[in-house]
């Protein structure tokens, strides 16, 4: 498999930390005493500061999500000189979606006119793009398809933020949503006889409840969640626990894998859940800072789009070139950790 090109698009509106705090305050402050609200706001500021978030792009004022996906896709296709009709597989790999069925990839297919493609979705929280790349790699190398497109559209994320807290204790579960940002990415891939991709994933299911975006019927699949005061369709995370445990799993999995730990890398792209988590991984694995490309500070937590967004930006800035050895790292709800290595 060969990565032919990447493209990205972000909403026009940016939200600063102070604007995000004010949005939260406008929904909640009247329900608490001054002392209670001071404690809540202090917690919010600690979470956002620790994450390293400075701003996030958010689609407001009627900005279309599918238009962002279209712009990212056409940018990627133009960069590699391919037409929509040459794409025979489209995979949508985002958390955000407008419906549960049919697959969201169909909306992308219709929008760009890729009439020769078949479509499906891959969903694995923030590991979605890397999971999709692994699946597409197998299909391309098996000869099932010639040209594939992976689309990420983490848009409408503000709809998953719980701005109205049920009580002061709930801030612990919902504060991380303030770090969410929005972005669309598109990755064009083709079959290649000179593929050196290596993928590996590990999942640690005991801690899946640390990070959830539950549906209304979540209790039917995990009855004990009825006692957890969860809110349907609202992103919640036990930030300190999931960051600490995910970083440990990333580091231990990397060190135990001889292919990963013995490799020499020119550039690294990782999921940007927070700047703090990224630096913890970077330091533990002795990755040179100049070769590491986090996106969180400028774009926030763009979930499954963060890895392809980082690579697209690096290509745009001339920070990655053909022949570079690439390491990709994701830590995701589940807890799932995943890695890929390849020559770009």
Q: What domains lie within the chain, and their CATH numbers?
A: 198-343 (3.40.47.10)
C-beta of residue 81 within 8 angstroms of C-beta of residue 120: no
| pLDDT surpasses 90 at 321 | yes
Using the predicted structure, report yes or no on whether residue 295 has a pLDDT greater than 90: yes
Closest of 214, 204, 198, 125 to residue 162, by C-alpha: 214
DSSP 8-state symbol, 15: E
Q: What does the pLDDT read at residue 129? A: 98
Which element (helix H / strand E) includes 112? helix 105-112
What are the pLDDT digits (tens) for 210-230? 999 999 999 889 888 766 667
How much is the average pLDDT of 38-58?
91
Peptide bond into 335 cis (omega under 30): yes
Q: 20: Cβ–Cβ under 8 A, 6 or more apart, which residues?
A: 48, 56, 178
For residue 272, the model assigns a pLDDT of 80
Residue 24: its pLDDT value, please?
84
Return mean pLDDT, the chain: 93
Q: Which of 171, 42, 163, 149 is nearest to 86 (CA)?
A: 149
pLDDT in tens, 109-155: 999 999 999 999 999 999 999 999 999 999 999 999 999 999 999 99
Q: At 164, phi and psi to the nearest 5?
A: -100, 105
65 dihedral zone (left: phi>0; alpha: psi -120 to 50; beta)? alpha
pLDDT digits (tens, 9 = 90+) for 73-105: 999 999 999 999 999 999 999 999 999 999 999
Query: pLDDT at residue 249 above 90?
Result: yes
pTM of this prediction?
0.95
Per-residue pLDDT of 172-212, as tens digits, reads 888 898 999 999 999 999 999 988 999 999 999 999 999 99
Which of 189, 202, 183, 204 minimizes the C-alpha distance to 342?
A: 189
Q: How many CB atoms lie within 10 A of CB 298?
A: 17
Q: Quick check: 164 pLDDT over 70?
A: yes
Q: pLDDT-derived band of residue 290, with 50, 70 and 90 as boundaries?
A: low
Instruction: With residue 8 as reference, give the H or E element that holds it.
Output: strand 2-9
């Amino acid at each position: 498999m060969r990565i032919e090109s990447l493209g990205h698009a972000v909403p026009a509106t940016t939200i600063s930390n102070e604007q995000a705090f004010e949005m939260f305050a406008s929904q909640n402050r009247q329900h608490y005493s001054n002392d209670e609200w001071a404690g809540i706001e202090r917690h919010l500021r600690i979470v956002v500061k620790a994450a390293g978030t400075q701003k996030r792009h958010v689609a407001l004022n009627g900005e279309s999500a599918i238009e962002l996906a279209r712009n990212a896709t056409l940018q990627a296709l133009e960069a590699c000189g391919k037409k929509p009709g040459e794409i025979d597989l489209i995979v949508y790999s985002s958390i955000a979606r407008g419906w549960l069925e049919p697959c969201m990839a169909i909306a992308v297919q219709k929008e760009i006119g890729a009439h020769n493609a078949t479509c499906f979705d891959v969903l694995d929280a923030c590991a979605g793009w890397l999971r999709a790349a692994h699946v597409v790699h197998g299909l391309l190398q098996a000869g099932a398809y010639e040209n594939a497109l992976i689309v990420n559209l983490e848009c409408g994320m503000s709809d998953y933020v719980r701005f109205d807290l049920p009580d002061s204790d709930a801030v612990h579960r919902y504060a991380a949503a303030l770090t969410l940002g929005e972005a669309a990415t598109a990755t064009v891939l083709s079959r290649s006889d000179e593929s050196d991709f290596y993928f590996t994933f590990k999942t640690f299911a005991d801690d899946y409840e640390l990070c959830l975006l539950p549906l209304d019927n979540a209790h039917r699949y995990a009855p004990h969640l009825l006692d957890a005061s969860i809110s349907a369709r609202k992103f919640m995370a036990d930030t300190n626990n999931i960051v600490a445990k995910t970083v440990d799993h990333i580091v231990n999995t990397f060190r135990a894998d001889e292919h990963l730990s013995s490799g020499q890398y020119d550039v690294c792209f990782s999921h940007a859940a927070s700047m703090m988590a990224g630096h913890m991984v970077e330091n533990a694995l002795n990755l040179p800072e100049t070769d590491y490309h986090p996106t969180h500070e400028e774009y926030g937590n763009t979930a499954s789009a963060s890895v392809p967004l980082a690579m697209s930006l690096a290509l745009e800035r001339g920070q990655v070139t053909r022949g570079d050895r690439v390491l990709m790292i994701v830590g995701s709800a589940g807890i799932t950790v995943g890695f890929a290595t390849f020559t770009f």
